[in-house]
Chain A
Amino acid sequence: MTGVRFRTALAAIRSFVRVFARQIVGDRVTLFFLVVLPVVVITVIGLTFGSAGSSFDIGYVRTDDDGLPGRLIERLDDADGVGVVAFEDAADLRAAVRRQTVALGLEFADDVDARLAAGEPAITVVAEASAQSAQGALDVVRAAVAAELGPDDAARFAASLTGTSFETAEQVASTVAGALPPLDVAVTDVGEQRDESLSEFALTAPQNLVLFVFINAMAGGAALVRMRRRGVLRRVMAGPVSATDIVLGVTAAWFLVSLMQSALIMAVGAIAFDVSWGDPVGAFLLAVVFAAVGAGAGLLVGAVGGDEDRVSSISPPVGIVLGALGGCMVPLEIFPDAMRTVSRFVPQSWAMTGWERLVFDGEGVSAIVGPLAVLAGFAAVFVGLAVVALHRDLRSG
């Protein structure tokens, strides 16, 4: 390519990028779908279905009893992912439980120790049955109570069996409990290669990145249909640019729009929702290649579509179906085998595989070479078909 030809091609790319950017900025509906909607969906789905349930607060009515109540609250406060909140009275505590400000509440009887010695209920658990976090919190409370009351139960059992006093039996039980070795439980961390914990948005952010980049790129094809129908592209051809320059310009503009949307979702995910996108180089490559896939799909739709309204209306449902097949709605792991096979024919599934390896498995670039290669293939096919169709359209008269 000569210097003049290179400059002309560059001018075409710059011009199309600028004009598409201007069109997007000037269209509130496009901006909404491109920027606002993905962030809103990530937030809503993340908060609803994310892993936030592992962190919750347990409320209790404030008490000066440093016996069992004090020990129990201290144990709960020390537990991972659990916070404790004191309330002045039972009414406040129950209101907080109803509002789900706390996962559940604990009300201690005034004479806890006497009731325990008599084998009577000493602690009332207040819970909102429909609250998703209540069950998990209840398990935590049961475990804490069992840990605190284990020696007491043993003492009560020993006293009734041997006839010694409860106090004596309790002293013996506490001594023995302290001398026993702790239970050794082996734990395997399936995310051990990650150097940080996962945000509750860790799954929804990549899912929606893949889903929305593709849908918006496809729907953006309507703009290309409009340009073709209005004769803008043919008019451009009357200038000192070739059909190849035009295709290059349009492709570059589409690619940059997709890439910018990807960057935006990733930035919002990282900053606002504490999403870790994994290995930076891998994440960059995956975002770039999938943006190329989206751009190619948008170009293809724009190059062969005959009616801009039809393209606008059909693209979102098609994108949603492809996204669902590709694991953007539910994880690929829970797909039946047949559906998993089908999903391999849509680019979204390869993108999701890549993100899962980066985000959840903590892998690097080497682990996503396969998905990257397949996605690059999808992009090449889409762009190639679009170029042929655009060339044919421009030359058809």
Chain B
Amino acid sequence: MSGTDQREHSGAPVPGTAPSLPLLRCDGLVRRFGERTAVDGVSFHISAGETYGLLGPNGAGKTTTISMIAGILRPDGGRVELDGRRVDAHDPEAKRSLGLVPQEIALFDDLSAEENLRFFGSLQGLRGADLRARVAATLELVGLSDRAKDRISEFSGGMQRRANIAVGLLHRPRLLVLDEPTAGVDPQSRNQILESIEQLRAEGMAVLYTTHYMEEAERLCDRVGIIDRGRIVAEGTRRELVAQIGEHDRLVVRADGPLDAFAATVGTLAGVREVHVGTGSIDVVVDDAASTLAAVVDAATSDHVVVTGIEVREPNLEAVFLHLTGTALRDRGD
């Protein structure tokens, strides 16, 4: 997946909607298990319609953070506000805006997908025709309509994941929290899950997405918080994060003709930081590959250079994580 289709608005609602107060606000969350501090002062916010990625290896504190947001765990410090209401044990109503998709398949495996949705739907206060309609629509959304009556135990791993997501979506929450929803699924189901989330994002649902798959975070998230050892070590859009570590986009232009002259021309273009001439190509370091690309092609035409190929190389979140933590994400992931 290329990084060129990244959403670059920071904490902004979906285009066309008015800016609003954060839907979710986490302030200084702390949670300890005995001597171990699993989450140590985590703060971030998510606006309506925004997709926020919590990126980090296993054991970084992602699930514990989510458990505090969902009201499952009480924070030892800090607070969570959802839709303007503090989430705590005494006000479970605050959680009505939230849909949780846990990492494990938290379903009754001896009941059908439809029965599972009915159970969780009824706990959300849905009843009668409304419940039936939402169950049908949600199963349709995750592509399980034709297996609605089948038991969860008869599903493949990918289908179980989709049923797991369906439960989180059933009551149409304003914030959907997904904890590593693609862990251990086949590529086809994984893509289906990601497409479903993209569809929800397009419909304006805010999403908190935890993963240790860097490419998923790049594909889905407007902003990313990199969490390591219980702390958020960096936060922002992919471009902001990349900028923080001094990495830049690169254009590798393969061409025939006077490459030295072409390189000199390109070096004068706005947004170009460095140009290196190689064998049959030039390597251009730029601030933003997408906005510089057209000018580079124009320069080639004016310098009578025939471009045979252009490769856009954007620094990814893997590089950011490596830079910030000193280890590769996958080294400490699964």
A residues at B contact (CB < 8 Å): 4, 7-8, 11-12, 14-15, 18-19, 22-23, 26-27, 227, 230-232, 234-243, 245, 394-395, 397
Contact present for A14 and B122 (CB under 8 Å): yes
Chain B, 151-200, CB within 8 A of any chain A CB: 167, 177
Q: Does B72 contact A (CB under 8 A)?
A: yes
Q: A11-B123, A241-B123 are in contact. Are A231 and B102 (CB under 8 A)?
A: yes
- Which residue on chain A has the smallest CB distance to residue B177? A238
**Known contacts A19-B111, A19-B115, A397-B67: A11-B93 contact under CB 8 Å:** no
Could you tell me the distance between the alpha carbons of A27 and B153 in the complex, rounded to whole angstroms? 13
Find out whether the CB atom of A240 lies under 8 angstroms from the CB atom of B64. no
How far, in angstroms, from A26 to B107 measured CA to CA in the complex? 16
Could you tell me the distance between the alpha carbons of A231 and B102 in the complex, rounded to whole angstroms?
8
Contact of A11 with B110 at beta-carbon distance under 8 Å, contacts A239-B95, A395-B74 already known: no
Residue contact B111 to A232, C-beta cutoff 8 Å: no
A234-B123 in contact given A22-B115, A242-B92, A395-B74 (Cβ < 8 Å) = no
Contact for B106 among A11, A23, A232, A240, CB less than 8 A: A232
A230 & B71 in contact (Cβ 8 Å cutoff): no
Given the complex, which residues of B lie within 8 Å of A395, measured CB to CB? 72-74
**Min C-beta distance of A96 to chain B, whole Å:** 52
A234: contacting residue among B31, B106, B108, CB under 8 A: B106
Contact string against A for B residues 29-44, beta-carbon threshold 8 Å, 1 for contact and 0 otherwise? 0010100000000000
A354 nearest CB across to chain B (Å): 35
- Are A19 and B119 within 8 A (Cβ)? yes
How many chain B residues touch the partner (CB < 8 A)? 34
In the complex, 25 of the A-B residue pairs with CB atoms within 8 angstroms, ordered by the A residue number, are A8-B93, A8-B125, A11-B123, A19-B108, A19-B111, A26-B110, A27-B110, A231-B104, A231-B106, A232-B107, A234-B102, A234-B106, A236-B120, A238-B70, A238-B72, A239-B92, A239-B123, A240-B92, A240-B93, A240-B96, A240-B124, A242-B89, A242-B92, A394-B72, A397-B64
Q: Does B100 contact A (CB under 8 A)?
A: yes
Q: How far is the CA of A20 from the CA of B47 in the complex (A)?
A: 39
B124 touches A239 (CB 8 A): yes
With contacts A22-B115, A240-B95 known, is A234 near B122, CB below 8 A?
Answer: no
- Name the residue of chain B whose CB is nearest to the CB of A27: B110
A241: chain B residues within 8 A (beta carbon): 92, 123
Asked if A235 contacts B92 (CB within 8 A), the reply is no
Are A232 and B122 closer than 8 Å at their CB atoms?
Answer: no
The reply to whether A235 and B102 form a contact with Cβ atoms under 8 Å apart is: yes
Nearest B-chain residue to A15, judged by Cβ: B122
Chain B, Cβ-Cβ closest to A244: B89
Determine whether the beta carbon of A238 is less than 8 Å from that of B104: no
Q: How far is the CA of A239 from the CA of B100 in the complex (A)?
A: 8
Distance in Å from the Cβ of B60 to the closest Cβ of chain A?
15
Which of B96, B107, B124, B125 meets A230, CB within 8 Å? B107
Whether B89 and A243, one on each chain, are in contact in the complex, defined by CB atoms closer than 8 angstroms, is yes
Q: Is B8 an interface residue (CB 8 A)?
A: no
B119 / chain A contacts, CB cutoff of 8 Å: 15, 18-19
Which A residues touch B73, using CB under 8 A? 395, 397
Instruction: Evaluate contact between A22 and B102: CB separation under 8 angstroms.
Output: no
* Nearest CB of A to B20, in Å: 22
| Shortest Cβ distance from B64 into A: residue | A397
Cβ of B109 under 8 Å from chain A: yes
